[in-house]
């Protein structure tokens, strides 16, 4: 019976000694000295300055506790603040520590504020803190005595941790990318959990009631977006023997543009399972609802998920869902796209591959994307569409001020994208094309669609297009061969000025912040060569036949262009030099059985106007072609002035100054006829002799 008493007495003595020692420690605790020692140690180990302005206190019974007040940590080798907190408190039970167990009350951190910076050279201001620890020392292996299993000290000494909960409040996180001049700020970040249990020996983690709430704003080159994020995991258990828990839900809301842009997204993970180093989920579901002005985009996607923790890779197979686009100005008001596909990613190698298939009006669409690098992003894609009428899904063309809307190509910055686009039949902006092929490249803040080719309007097109973010510059080089010009102009510009089949060469550049500015900054060259066509809007031969009375009365005639009138030609050529949005021509040449046409003038593309002076000359008087009615004008160059808006110009036949010229031409013709008759008579007399 003495033994239990002795044990009790010994235990009491030990406990008394422990209490006395803790009392001595508390009595001799010097907060100022400890702050100084901590500051020196941090400076020596990290090159950063630790400053503790608040209180620092310790407790030893019944828990080992640390409480710290206002504290800041600087950037490495500098004074700027990297991280700060208002207060933190943690306490650990003493007795469980004797059996290598950590039992802690709620860990509380208030006012944590951290700034992470990605510098222009690609490094981060936290790189020095992310250096990996050296491998653990092997147990049972000493110099000269190679024995043991090779296990590390970490694996040989399992750690059991039980925390009543974590409570982080009023935290803030700032991410600044100096390369893209963008900033992401997370404010009012709160993280709370219930009980957390970790057993490294059994490889088990149990988290109850985890909730993360964060809100802030993202500012990318002046475009501010506010957001609210919430993560809920009511219960989660991960272990080799048993894994699972209730659904993990992540919800995000974005607001920008003064309320004109909103995004609501929910990501839900159900049926979690852990096996060895793999995590799987029965379903990963994404619900997406975005609004941009009057446009709404909604999506619902779901697929099983598998994750390989060792390789840091995940796979989403059998992806299925639907994308819906709603706009009040679309002819069908809403557009629904079924989606199927798969996604694979390897975070260790920073690679990813996406396969996505859809159908639009029973036309298959296939998209393949391979990302060779995720940071910075570098990807290749292949897009194939059987046929698509883009105009069918876009608002109808209107005579509005849309041309003055701002253009911004800054989205091209920092991208590395290459790919091909193939479309069997395409209609866009009313232009109809077949066998469309494009090679696309985005690099060095520039988009190149070169080469690109298509068949259109009985002919073909080849060319190159480049768009630069720097200065919003555009360069277009196109060659059209064997194209019917009338339907092309009707569809492209709603203009009916020319008809005929032939070739067009275009090499232009421009820049500006809107379509209007780009039209007024247009520069370059253009050439056109047509055969068997017509100048639309006026029948010059008919109008010239009607000039007899007006010629004598010196009367000009003005008439608007008319769609049912045209001046036919067998061939027409012209070249243009374009500067400041004005295309100047001085070498127009057109031929017909009755007329020859030349001209010079300007087409003001920027202001949608034309001011052109053509000269029509009668060269034939065949009665069968109605030419005899033009005999009184033979040899004259009749000025024809085309002016006004491009879509409705007026024709002015300027005959007021032609009466004297007509008399002279007639006298000259009579003189020539008399000379020819005299020559014929003299020739006959000489032959008779």
Express each pLDDT in 419-428 by its tens digit: 999 999 999 8
Nearest in space to 639 (alpha carbons), one of 653, 620, 624:
653
Residue 219: which pLDDT band, with cuts at 50, 70 and 90?
Answer: low
CA distance 548 to 442: 63
Q: Rounded to an integer, what is the distance from CA 291 to the centroid of its chain?
A: 17
CA distance 479 to 503: 7
Per DSSP, which regions of 16-111 are E strands? 50-52, 56-59, 63-68, 71-74, 81-85, 87-93, 101-104, 107-110
User: Which residues 6+ apart lie within 8 Å of 455 measured at CB?
Assistant: 433, 434, 435, 461
Is-contact 486 498, C-beta < 8 A? yes
Q: Which helix (H) or strand (E) holds 126?
A: none
Residue 224: which pLDDT band, with cuts at 50, 70 and 90?
Answer: low
CA distance 51 to 36: 9
The more confident residue out of 63 and 183 is 183
Number of Cβ within a 10 Å radius of residue 98: 7
Residue 149 in 3-state DSSP?
coil
User: Which residues 6+ apart lie within 8 Å of 566 measured at CB?
Assistant: 499, 534, 535, 536, 537, 538, 539
Mean pLDDT computed over every residue of the chain: 80
Residue 466 has pLDDT above 80, yes or no: yes
Torsion of CA 662, 664, 669, 670, to 10 degrees: 110
Is-contact 658 644, C-beta < 8 A? no
**Cα dist from 8 to 15, 61, 339, whole Å:** 10, 20, 73
Residue 253 in 3-state DSSP?
strand
The more confident residue out of 125 and 552 is 125
String of DSSP letters for 339-406: EEEEEEEETTTTEEEEEEEEEETTEEEEEEEEEEEETTEEEEEEEEEEEEEGGGGSPPP-SSGGGGSB
CA distance 463 to 437: 11
Residue showing tokens 């008001």: 333
CA distance from start to end of the chain: 176
Residue 461: which pLDDT band, with cuts at 50, 70 and 90?
Answer: very high
Tokens at residue 22, please? 């803790």
Running DSSP on this structure, what letter comes out for residue 138? Answer: B
Nearest in space to 391 (alpha carbons), one of 337, 431, 429:
429
Residue 624: which pLDDT band, with cuts at 50, 70 and 90?
Answer: very low
Residue 360 has pLDDT above 60, yes or no: yes
Tokens at residue 207, please? 């988290």
CA distance 684 to 678: 10
In sign, the C-alpha dihedral spanning 593, 595, 600, 604 is negative
CA distance 528 to 481: 10
Mean pLDDT in residue range 668-683? 58
Q: Would strands 473-484 and 196-199 be described as parallel, antiparallel, or unpaired? A: unpaired
Mean pLDDT in residue range 413-419? 90
Segment of 84-93, 238-247, 585-594, 641-650 carrying the highest mean pLDDT = 585-594
Helices (H), 157-296: none
Domain ranges of the chain: 31-126+153-240, 276-395, 471-657
Is-contact 216 186, C-beta < 8 A? yes
Q: Exposure string (b/e) for 1-18, b if CB count within 10 Å is 16 or more?
A: eeeeeeeeeeeeeeeeee
Segment of 355-359, 644-648, 654-658 carrying the highest mean pLDDT = 355-359
Tokens at residue 232, please? 């809920």
**Cα dist from 446 to 6, 453, 524, 567, whole Å:** 86, 20, 20, 45
Helices (H), 501-614: 515-520, 540-545, 548-552
What pLDDT is recorded for position 368?
A: 96
What pLDDT is recorded for position 315?
A: 94
String of DSSP letters for 425-482: EEEETTEEEEEEEEEEEEETTEEEEEEEEEEETTEEEEEEEEEETTTTEEEEEEEEEE
Residue 379: which pLDDT band, with cuts at 50, 70 and 90?
Answer: very high
Residue 685 has pLDDT above 80, yes or no: no
What does pTM read for this prediction?
A: 0.67
Tokens at residue 174, please? 């700032």
Q: Give the percent of the chain with pLDDT over 90.
A: 31
In sign, the C-alpha dihedral spanning 372, 376, 380, 384 is positive
User: Which residues 6+ apart lie within 8 Å of 111 measured at CB?
Assistant: 84, 85, 86, 87, 169, 170, 171
What pLDDT is recorded for position 88?
A: 87
**Cα dist from 467 to 410, 423, 472, 570, whole Å:** 10, 21, 7, 38
The pairs formed by 513-519 with CB atoms below 8 angstroms and a separation of 24 or more are 513/406, 513/407, 513/408, 513/472, 514/403, 514/404, 514/405, 514/406, 514/407, 515/402, 515/403, 515/404, 515/405, 515/407, 516/403, 516/404, 516/606, 518/407, 518/472, 518/474, 519/403, 519/581, 519/605, 519/606
The pairs formed by 374-378 with CB atoms below 8 angstroms and a separation of 24 or more are 374/345, 374/347, 374/350, 375/350, 376/414, 376/416, 377/414, 377/415, 377/416, 377/417, 378/416, 378/417
User: Which residues 6+ apart lie within 8 Å of 181 measured at CB?
Assistant: 220, 221
Q: Exposure string (b/e) for 203-231, b if CB count within 10 Å is 16 or more?
A: ebbbbbebebebbbbbeeeeeebebebbb
In sign, the C-alpha dihedral spanning 675, 681, 683, 686 is negative
Mean pLDDT in residue range 642-659? 77
Q: Which segment of 157-161, 389-393, 423-427 scores lowest on mean pLDDT? A: 157-161
Residue 152 has pLDDT above 60, yes or no: no
């Amino acid at each position: 019976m003495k033994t239990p008493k002795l044990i009790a007495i010994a235990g009491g003595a030990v406990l008394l000694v422990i209490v006395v020692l803790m009392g001595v420690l508390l009595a001799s605790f010097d907060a100022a000295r400890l702050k100084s020692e901590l500051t020196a140690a941090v400076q020596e180990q990290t090159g950063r300055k630790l400053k503790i302005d608040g209180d620092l206190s310790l407790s030893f019974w019944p828990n080992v506790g640390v409480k710290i007040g206002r504290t800041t940590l600087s950037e490495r080798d500098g004074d700027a603040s990297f991280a700060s907190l208002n207060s933190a408190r943690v306490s650990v039970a003493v007795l469980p520590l004797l059996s290598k167990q950590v039992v802690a009350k709620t860990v509380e951190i208030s006012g944590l504020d951290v700034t992470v910076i990605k510098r222009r050279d690609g490094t981060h201001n936290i790189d020095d803190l992310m250096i990996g620890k050296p491998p653990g020392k092997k147990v049972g292996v000493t110099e000269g005595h190679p024995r043991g299993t090779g296990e590390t000290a970490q694996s040989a000494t399992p750690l059991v941790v039980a925390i009543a909960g974590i409570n982080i409040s009023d935290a803030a996180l700032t991410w600044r990318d100096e390369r893209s001049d963008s900033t992401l700020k997370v404010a009012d970040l709160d993280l709370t959990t219930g009980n957390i249990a970790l057993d490294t020996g059994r490889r088990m983690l149990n988290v109850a009631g985890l909730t993360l709430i964060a809100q802030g704003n993202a500012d990318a080159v002046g475009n501010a977006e506010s957001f609210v994020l919430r993560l809920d995991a009511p219960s989660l258990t991960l272990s080799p023997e048993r894994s699972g828990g209730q659904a993990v839900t992540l919800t995000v809301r974005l607001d920008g543009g003064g309320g004109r842009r909103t995004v609501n997204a929910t990501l839900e993970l159900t049926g979690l399972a852990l096996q060895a180093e793999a995590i799987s989920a029965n379903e990963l579901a994404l619900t997406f609802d975005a609004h941009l002005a009057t446009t709404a985009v909604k999506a619902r996607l779901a697929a099983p998920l598998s994750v390989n923790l060792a390789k840091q890779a995940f796979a989403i197979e059998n992806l299925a869902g639907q994308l819906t686009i709603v706009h009040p100005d679309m002819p069908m008001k809403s557009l629904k796209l079924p989606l199927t596909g798969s996604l694979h990613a390897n975070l260790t190698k920073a690679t990813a591959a996406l396969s996505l298939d859809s159908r639009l009006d029973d036309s298959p669409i296939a998209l393949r994307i391979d990302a060779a690098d995720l940071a910075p992003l570098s990807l290749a894609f292949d897009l194939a569409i059987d046929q698509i009428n883009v105009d069918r899904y876009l608002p109808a063309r209107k005579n509005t001020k849309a041309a003055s809307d701002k253009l911004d190509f800054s989205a091209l910055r920092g991208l590395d994208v290459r790919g091909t686009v193939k479309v069997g039949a395409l209609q866009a902006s009313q232009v109809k094309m077949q066998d469309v092929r494009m090679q696309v490249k985005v690099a060095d803040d520039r988009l190149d669609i070169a080469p690109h080719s298509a068949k259109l309007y009985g002919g073909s097109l080849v060319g190159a297009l480049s768009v630069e973010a720097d200065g919003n510059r555009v360069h277009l080089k196109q060659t059209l061969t064997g194209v019917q010009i009338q339907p092309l102009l009707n569809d492209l510009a709603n203009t009916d000025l020319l008809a005929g089949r032939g070739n067009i060469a275009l090499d232009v550049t421009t820049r500006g912040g809107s379509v209007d500015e780009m039209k007024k900054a247009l520069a370059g060259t253009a050439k056109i060569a047509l055969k068997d066509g017509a100048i639309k809007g006026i029948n010059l031969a008919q109008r010239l036949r009607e000039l007899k009375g007006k010629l004598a009365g010196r009367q000009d005639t003005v008439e608007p262009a008319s769609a049912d009138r045209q001046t036919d030609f067998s061939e027409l050529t012209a070249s243009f030099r374009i500067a400041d949005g004005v295309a100047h021509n001085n070498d127009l040449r057109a031929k017909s059985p009755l007329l020859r046409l030349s001209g010079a003038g300007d087409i003001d593309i920027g202001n949608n106007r034309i001011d052109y002076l053509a000269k029509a000359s009668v060269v034939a008087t065949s009665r069968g072609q109605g030419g005899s009615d033009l005999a009184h004008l033979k040899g004259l160059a009749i000025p024809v002035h085309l002016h006004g808006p491009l879509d409705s110009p007026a024709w002015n036949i300027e005959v007021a100054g032609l009466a004297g010229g007509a008399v002279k031409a007639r006298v000259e013709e009579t003189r020539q006829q008399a000379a020819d008759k005299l020559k014929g008579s003299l020739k006959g007399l000489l032959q008779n002799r």
